Chain A
Amino acid sequence: MSASTNEELDRLRQRVARRHHWWGWFGLLLFLSLGAFLEGLHGFKVGLYLDPENRLRRELWRLAHAHGTLLALMQLGFAVSVTRFGSWSVRRLKLTSFFLLDAGALIPVGFFLGGAWPSESDPGAGVLLVPVGALLLFSAVALILYSANEPDA
């Protein structure tokens, strides 16, 4: 690998790390706030969240909160590790970063939208974002695993 390619990859690793660092903390702020909002709905015994007929909404919003928070932590973990470990190519790194960021948004947003307008038995159509996000997350994790398995560059 030439020196210029190595420099380009290092710069990209730095850029990706900064991007995931920022999105990680932003995601934490957003989805912890969602958690606080849900606690507030509990505190004020808001019917649209707690009534038995809104069971599905409660479940989906809790899933949005949990997935959003955990995926934000995952972004931070990726930001910390990407500059230190693994053997990356520019292409693989870009793909992994995009997939991870997309999954971090699609999964919790899908759960939230699915719970916003559910039917009696099923989430609203917004939940269709979740399987797309899940597919991207699986792909990102597979790419990270593949890169981690190779000796450090």
Chain B
Amino acid sequence: MIASAGLLAVLLVVLLLQLRSALGWWRGLGLVGGGVLLLGGAWGALEWEHRRRPPPPEDQTDARPITSEQCRKCHEGHYQSWHRTYHRSMTREATPANVKADFNDAEHHYLGVTSYLRRTGDRFYLDTIDPRTESAALSQGSSTLRREFTVDRLVGSHWFQQLMTRDADGRYLRLPLAYHLGERRWLHIDGVFLSPDTGRYFSKANVWNETCLYCHNTRPVQNPLSGPEGNAGYDTEVGELGIACEACHGAAERHVRAHRNPASRLAQHYSARADPTIVNPARLPVARADEVCGRCHGGVMPRLEHWNPLTLADPFLAGRELRRFWHVTFSEAEMRQISARQGTKLAVEPRPDHLDGRFWGDGTPLTTALEYLGVKLSACYQDGQGKLSCLTCHSMHHGDPDHQVKDGLRHTNTVCYGCHEKYRERLVEHTHHPANSPGSLCYNCHMPHQVFSLMTTHRSHRIDVPRVKDSLGTGKPHACNLCHLDKSLGWTQEQLGKWYGTRPVPLSDDDKHLASSVLHLLQSDARSRGVVAGAFSWPPAQQASGRDWPGLLLTRFLEHERYQVVRYTAYKALRSLHGFAPGDYNFQGAPAERANQVRALRRALESQTRPEPSRYPYLPLTRTGRFADDALDRLLKSRNDPDVSVNE
């Protein structure tokens, strides 16, 4: 800026000298002055035009939403880097450009119901049974009444596309089929989420306006309509479908107005001060910046006493205090109690109970969209007073859109070394694993795949020391045993004691002598079974644990697994281990169909693999390399299998 001002000053002097030579001093000065006044006046007119407009409302909740297309006019680079992300396409209208699912006269069969998915012109339809005669259709196998639903809106574009249909009252209802983008197949919604089978076709028919709205869109306003009998529908509005600029940068109307004036843009460009008209999370204090992510990745509950009861517009905007408008909770028990007390926070936060659908017994989040809570529970986070932030590893504008991890951070310990520099030189001494092995990547032990959702496992964001005691009675599989699947918890305890001097805790005989994965698969509830079944797909775990025995165990496991999504996860592991085709096993098939398929898989495996029992001292193998039926039956008989749901 100083250089530019200098250049302008030199220019004026040269001009003045030229004018003096032509017109003399006074006329020259007059002409230069006139020119300066002319240009200055034009500048001032711009400023005046900008100032005479009424200012945006003080409460930015009511500010006019600004869309990404408006932001694009000035921020093309940021627009493009955001445009790649799955955040952008989280919610879309069902147009040909947005629909990735197969609507080419596809058929889907489930519970004896055949549904058809087709496209006519630019519209998409699901033809299936009429919900009003669902019971008759399911019990008698007849479906005299059918109904064609228009697919109006889509939720998801990364893992699945879920279908929403709009009714006459503005409700968007979830339809019972979803398309798995990785598998390229239609699924019934019962198999997408970890929860017990309902036996119903129209299950999980959530109302988008009440559930998906607040996290999957930008600047949401529910606008419920009331009628004589209560809710009469919705006039829901969003600033933009999907997660767009204002979700992270706050209300932008003031910013747009201020920067219509090129003078203010230029001044801001050369200023080191943060722009007061917009929020840049990277410039916020750590705790406040992470609340921007925590709004949707923190499993929050609304504090409705601070909301507009008529519009139910989300009053949280980036930069504001999250807890003012949303409860941040650490167990479903706490959520239930807050609901029961109509929003009053409890003095003592209850621990997660044994059926919690969001947290393991030790408090660690067990599903996605709770990453903010995981980080908050981490010692490394220092309650937001340290250096670690969501933005340390993630960015909405850089890196692979798959997980939004910044460039150059994948498969490295770079971030951890930022604070734990001493381990750079003493890595092997600390990890007791070869330097370039998965066992020497900090996050494999301190952020293991203990989270289940979206039909797969994910890394825990609770950066933690893997303690054996945290896996006793909590359901949470131990980090070491998610890689060393053939080893027992007792073995893990012994290694940790030897390497780090960890004090042992009392273990049962089975925990000491049987592989932890076997115990979880055969005895634990479905949450743990899903996580452990998922671990068998992980290449480092396959390498560390051997590939010749899991197939034999997983086929036995599939015979007894009642949760669809856990069956899917186990079969995915079988496919990665033995190359079975996706069609060799239908995890949503009828019991008889699945039993036949599992028998065929077992026969194929028993002819292929014969693990050497001496290599696997913690596996209940016979001398011939088969799993001992009596040992597996004993464990299955004492399986703890309550109805549980993972509430993603």
B500 within 8 A of A: no
Q: Check B21–A125 contact: CB distance below 8 A.
A: no
Q: Which of A98, A125, A132, A135 is B266 in contact with, Cβ under 8 Å?
A: A125
A35 within 8 A of B: no
A102 within 8 A of B: yes
**Cα(A132)–Cα(B15), bound, Å:** 11
Q: Check B39–A132 contact: CB distance below 8 A.
A: yes
Q: Check A120–B39 contact: CB distance below 8 A.
A: no
A111 vs chain B, min Cβ distance (A): 14
Q: Check B35–A135 contact: CB distance below 8 A.
A: yes
Q: Find residues 116-135 in chain A having any chain B CB closer than 8 Å to their own CB.
A: 119-122, 124-126, 128-129, 131-132, 135
Given known pairs A53-B80, A95-B22, A98-B18, the reply for A135 and B73 (CB within 8 Å) is no
Q: Which of A52, A55, A102, A131 is B15 in contact with, Cβ under 8 Å?
A: A102
A144 within 8 A of B: no
Q: Check B265–A122 contact: CB distance below 8 A.
A: yes
B38 within 8 A of A: yes
Given known pairs A55-B76, A102-B15, the reply for A135 and B39 (CB within 8 Å) is yes
**Cα(A102)–Cα(B14), bound, Å:** 9
Given known pairs A106-B11, A122-B266, the reply for A52 and B76 (CB within 8 Å) is yes
Q: Find residues 95-123 in chain A having any chain B CB closer than 8 Å to their own CB.
A: 95, 98, 102, 106, 119-122
Q: Say which one of B1-9, B459-467, B622-630 lies at the interface with A.
A: B1-9
Q: Which of B14, B39, B80 is A131 in contact with, Cβ under 8 Å?
A: B39
Given known pairs A102-B15, A126-B7, the reply for A121 and B22 (CB within 8 Å) is no
Dominant SS among interface residues on chain A:
helix
B634 within 8 A of A: no
B320 within 8 A of A: no
Q: Which of A102, A120, A135 is B18 in contact with, Cβ under 8 Å?
A: A102
Given known pairs A52-B80, A94-B21, A126-B4, the reply for A121 and B38 (CB within 8 Å) is no
Q: Check A119–B269 contact: CB distance below 8 A.
A: yes
Q: Find residues 46-61 in chain A having any chain B CB closer than 8 Å to their own CB.
A: 52-53, 55
Q: Check A120–B76 contact: CB distance below 8 A.
A: yes
Chain B residues positioned under 8 Å from A120 (CB to CB): 74-78
A84 within 8 A of B: no
B55 within 8 A of A: no
Q: Find residues 6-52 in chain A having any chain B CB closer than 8 Å to their own CB.
A: 52
Q: Which of B1, B11, B19, B262 is A129 in contact with, Cβ under 8 Å?
A: B11
**Cα(A102)–Cα(B77), bound, Å:** 35
Chain A residues positioned under 8 Å from B15 (CB to CB): 98, 102, 136
Which residue in chain A gives the minimum CB-CB distance to B265?
A122
Given known pairs A102-B15, A120-B76, A120-B78, the reply for A91 and B23 (CB within 8 Å) is yes
**Cα(A95)–Cα(B8), bound, Å:** 20
B472 vs chain A, min Cβ distance (A): 52
Which residue in chain B gives the minimum CB-CB distance to A90?
B22
**Cα(A126)–Cα(B2), bound, Å:** 11
A136 vs chain B, min Cβ distance (A): 8
Which residue in chain B gives the minimum CB-CB distance to A131?
B39
A108 vs chain B, min Cβ distance (A): 14
**Cα(A111)–Cα(B200), bound, Å:** 67
B283 vs chain A, min Cβ distance (A): 16
Q: Find residues 72-96 in chain B having any chain A CB closer than 8 Å to their own CB.
A: 73-78, 80
Chain B residues positioned under 8 Å from A125 (CB to CB): 1, 4, 266, 269-270
Interface centre among B22, B23, B73 (most CB of A within 10 A): B22
Q: Check B77–A52 contact: CB distance below 8 A.
A: yes
**Cα(A131)–Cα(B1), bound, Å:** 17
Q: Which of B8, B22, B80, B266 is A91 in contact with, Cβ under 8 Å?
A: B22
Q: Which of A52, A121, A132 is B74 in contact with, Cβ under 8 Å?
A: A121
Chain A residues positioned under 8 Å from B39 (CB to CB): 131-132, 135
**Cα(A95)–Cα(B14), bound, Å:** 13
Please, how many residues of chain A have a CB less than 8 angstroms from a CB on the other chain?
A: 22
Q: Check A132–B11 contact: CB distance below 8 A.
A: yes
Chain A residues positioned under 8 Å from B270 (CB to CB): 125
**Cα(A94)–Cα(B21), bound, Å:** 8
**Cα(A135)–Cα(B262), bound, Å:** 18
Q: Check B77–A53 contact: CB distance below 8 A.
A: yes
Q: Which of A95, A129, A136 is B7 in contact with, Cβ under 8 Å?
A: A129
Chain A residues positioned under 8 Å from B23 (CB to CB): 91, 95
Which residue in chain B gives the minimum CB-CB distance to A98?
B18
Q: Check B80–A121 contact: CB distance below 8 A.
A: no
Chain B residues positioned under 8 Å from A126 (CB to CB): 4, 7
A152 vs chain B, min Cβ distance (A): 22
Given known pairs A95-B22, A135-B35, the reply for A121 and B75 (CB within 8 Å) is yes
Chain B residues positioned under 8 Å from A124 (CB to CB): 4, 269
**Cα(A131)–Cα(B40), bound, Å:** 11
**Cα(A98)–Cα(B77), bound, Å:** 40
Chain A residues positioned under 8 Å from B8 (CB to CB): 128-129, 132
Q: Find residues 204-221 in chain B having any chain A CB closer than 8 Å to their own CB.
A: none
Q: Find residues 37-55 in chain B having any chain A CB closer than 8 Å to their own CB.
A: 38-39, 42
**Cα(A53)–Cα(B18), bound, Å:** 40
Chain A residues positioned under 8 Å from B7 (CB to CB): 126, 129
Which residue in chain B gives the minimum CB-CB distance to A92?
B22
**Cα(A94)–Cα(B15), bound, Å:** 12
Q: Find residues 321-380 in chain B having any chain A CB closer than 8 Å to their own CB.
A: none
A4 vs chain B, min Cβ distance (A): 19
Q: Find residues 254-303 in chain B having any chain A CB closer than 8 Å to their own CB.
A: 262, 265-266, 269-270
Chain B residues positioned under 8 Å from A128 (CB to CB): 4, 8
Given known pairs A122-B266, A129-B11, A132-B39, the reply for A94 and B22 (CB within 8 Å) is yes
B261 vs chain A, min Cβ distance (A): 11
Q: Check B38–A135 contact: CB distance below 8 A.
A: yes
Q: Check A121–B265 contact: CB distance below 8 A.
A: yes
Given known pairs A98-B18, A128-B4, the reply for A122 and B77 (CB within 8 Å) is no
**Cα(A94)–Cα(B28), bound, Å:** 12
Chain A residues positioned under 8 Å from B4 (CB to CB): 124-126, 128
Chain B residues positioned under 8 Å from A95 (CB to CB): 19, 22-23
Chain A residues positioned under 8 Å from B35 (CB to CB): 132, 135
Q: Which of B1, B19, B74, B76 is A98 in contact with, Cβ under 8 Å?
A: B19
**Cα(A94)–Cα(B18), bound, Å:** 8
**Cα(A52)–Cα(B270), bound, Å:** 23
**Cα(A98)–Cα(B32), bound, Å:** 13
**Cα(A102)–Cα(B11), bound, Å:** 9
Chain B residues positioned under 8 Å from A98 (CB to CB): 15, 18-19, 21-22
27 examples of A-B residue contacts, CB within 8 angstroms: A52-B77, A53-B80, A91-B23, A94-B18, A95-B19, A95-B23, A98-B15, A102-B14, A102-B15, A106-B11, A120-B75, A120-B76, A120-B78, A121-B265, A122-B265, A122-B266, A122-B269, A124-B4, A125-B1, A125-B4, A125-B270, A128-B8, A129-B7, A129-B8, A129-B11, A131-B42, A132-B8
Given contacts A98-B15, A129-B7, 11 further A-B contacts (CB under 8 A): A52-B77, A94-B18, A94-B22, A95-B23, A120-B77, A121-B76, A121-B265, A125-B269, A126-B7, A128-B8, A129-B8
- Give 7 nearest A-B pairs by CB, closest first: A121-B74, A125-B4, A94-B22, A53-B77, A98-B18, A119-B269, A95-B22
